[in-house]
Chains A and B, each alone.
Chain A
Amino acid sequence: MAQPLLEVRDLRTHFELEDGVVKAVDGVSLTVRRGRTLAVVGESGCGKSVTARSILRLVEHPARIVGGQILLYGDQPSDDPLDLLAAKDKRLRQVRWSEIAMVFQEPMASLSLVHTIGDQIIEAIRLHGGVGKVEARHRAIEFLGRVGIPDPKRRVDSYPFELSGGMRQRAMIAMALSCRPRLLIADEPTTALDVTTQAQILDLLQDLQQELGMAIMLITHDLGVAAQVADEVAVMYLGEVVEHGPAASVLSEPKHPYTQALVRSVPRLGQRGQGRLAAVRGTVPPPYERPSGCRFHPRCDAFMAGKCDSTVPTRVRSDDTDVACLLYGEEER
């Protein structure tokens, strides 16, 4: 297999709260391939957002990255990968935006409301591009045009609150792409938008990916979104990746019982009259009490007493998918 772009190995990010430690991300490993889209899916609270933020070391107190490696590979196979968790602050700041950029969920909250969008884009371009004001402004306008904002020459001087929600997210994307990063991390980029705008933004992301050849790591709770754009899918549950493989395999023939339950719970067009939607049984356990053995066992339909509640499953390869479940393993290992 070709060298990946980004490899997250055994990432652990914990929230050190007064009442105890919440292990929001506890041993996440995943891989982003060059020029491809990886969708990270899971229920709210499974740690996917924290994972995304940990990559650029953006987590703040009380959260703390306590272990793992985040390896960013260079263009040449001979280059040594850079471990972002071990990198010096200055080196990390160079990586931020110029190599890995981010798009956040709420464009209104993620953009400063007292600066024009032009100001905020130009700032990034000048910081990493080493170009003059005029040139940077030129590029800002160019990117605003590229993401489909009409009349970018005028809009560059607008404040975020003067734009609609969809336009704001486009501006945010323009800002993220302005330094031509190799990886774009999009954290629920369409959740705050209506369905039509959502589709437009997803299309836009795919087009730009073709054009600029970057990889995308898309954080979403929506399997539909993942199916639409992802080349690969990583399914997270309670702070770890339980299944990781090509989108087609994971979403059409899920291996892990949790993924299976997720897929069953998505309503499908044209399938009326088949009774109630299947939900994932039970609830997410309280954050201080992680179940023993396989973390999913209290909610699992395929629970094997005496095994699942005592043995921690390791990730094993089944067909083209990695899966962390005791149903798989032994014979295939």
Chain B
Amino acid sequence: MVQTIQAQPAPPPQAEPEVVKSLRDHGALPQWRLMWRQFRRHKLALIGLIVLVPIYFIAVFSGFFAPAASDSAHTALPYAPPQRVHFSSEHGLFVYGYSSTRDQETFEQTFTVDKNKIVDVGLFVRGDEYKILGLIPSDIHLIGPVKAGDPFFLLGADQSGRDLLSRLIHGARVSLSIGLVGVLAASVLGLLIGGISGYLGGPIDNAIQRVIEFIMSIPTLPLWMALSASLPDSWGPLTRYFAITVILSLIGWTGLARDVRGRFLSLREEDFVMAARLDGVSRGGIIFGHMVPSFASHIIATVSMAVPTMILGETSLSFLGLGLQAPAVSWGVLLEGAQNIRAVATAPWLLAPGLAVVVVVLAMNFVGDGLRDAADPYK
């Protein structure tokens, strides 16, 4: 590049110092490597990623990691409190069993840890049957009582005497996947409609924008409630799962569509798009070969921020009894058991799924934040 004084265009006013700008011209790196470099610098995002990866891993192999099946119950032990794992040379790993007393007046059952009852605990023990990835049958569990059927409640039990930890792990499958599936659906809608709106412009754009404004002005939860109440009770868990996903994404696509439209509008005026057009590149070629790649990283960042919103949406709906319904397990379904404040007061561990939601959403927000920073590596 030869610089002459006259030909040199004026730098933008103070937006960035000239030196920084010339830095950019010299240090050109491939975009993905730059993004990763920037992402790594975001400590919170890295922590978020480190938290999320094992959680998703556990959710995928939930059968192995959960000590019991989601529906195996000790009906005699409702609201049994959490056990602590002990170790002694005599027994190896073990937990104490329960003894129950019933209040003569209120008939309320209370449990105490009974140090005389010892439940041996082992690693890689045989227990409830499950299928790895839904295919390979197995009954090996990472941790559990050596004698199958002994009570083993690391996080306590729910009102039917089911192990909360196992249900939490099984519920993660739905709660964690619904965000991804829902966001995928919303992204397709958002990209398509936003792209049409931004690329075509004119009256079509106008109409689409009005529709989006309209959808955005409706309070989401009442609408979600009304929509999910319209699902027939006869539908099975899987159908319901997809229906809820569709409902969540029907409302979730609007923000992305606006974003995509904005990008398209500004890109249409860019020189490289004009150049491609003058080169005779087809419309599809311009959109997918030139325009989409230039803001793909930005879209990924935006989309990643929508995943936690969807997870919160599912949790709220199921909590209200309008989303997934038992026997399906999701964190929202589990929290439905915590609606009664008296139940929570006697068994505060029922709030554990809520803690799981908070941790996952927090981690996702961190990752999303890091991705957004990384999407603009030079900013």
Contacts and interface: CB of A to CB of B under 8 A. Distances in A.
Direct A–B contact present (CB less than 8 angstroms): yes
Interface of A: 15, 17, 19, 22, 24, 41, 43-45, 47, 49-50, 63, 104-106, 109-110, 188, 191-192, 221-223, 262, 265-267, 277, 279-281, 283-284, 286-288
Contacts of A266: 5-6
A265 B5 contact: yes
**Dominant secondary structure at the B interface:** loop
Nearest to B22: A45
A49 B20 CA distance: 13
A267 B4 CA distance: 10
B2 A110 contact: no
B13 to A, nearest CB: 4
A58 to B, nearest CB: 9
The 8 closest A-B pairs by CB, nearest first: A106-B13, A45-B18, A191-B10, A279-B4, A286-B26, A265-B4, A279-B2, A22-B19
Given A43-B8, A45-B22, A221-B8, A283 B13 contact: no
B86 to A, nearest CB: 50
Contact of B22 (A109, A110, A277, A284): A284
Contact of B20 (A17, A41, A221): A17
Contact of A110 (B13, B19, B20, B23): B13
A44 B17 contact: no
B19 A15 contact: yes
Q: Give the size category of B's interface with A.
A: 20 to 34
Given A17-B20, A287-B23, A188 B10 contact: yes
A41 B1 CA distance: 21
Contact of B5 (A17, A47, A223): A223
B22 A287 contact: yes
Contacts of A267: 6
B25 to A, nearest CB: 9
A24 B20 CA distance: 10
B2 to A, nearest CB: 5
Contacts of B13: 104-106, 109-110, 192
Contacts of B26: 286-287
B30 interface: no
Contact of A63 (B2, B3, B4, B17): B17
B11 interface: yes
A222 B17 contact: no
A105 B22 CA distance: 19
A19 B17 CA distance: 15
B58 to A, nearest CB: 37
Contacts of A286: 22-23, 26
Contacts of A45: 11, 18-19, 21-22
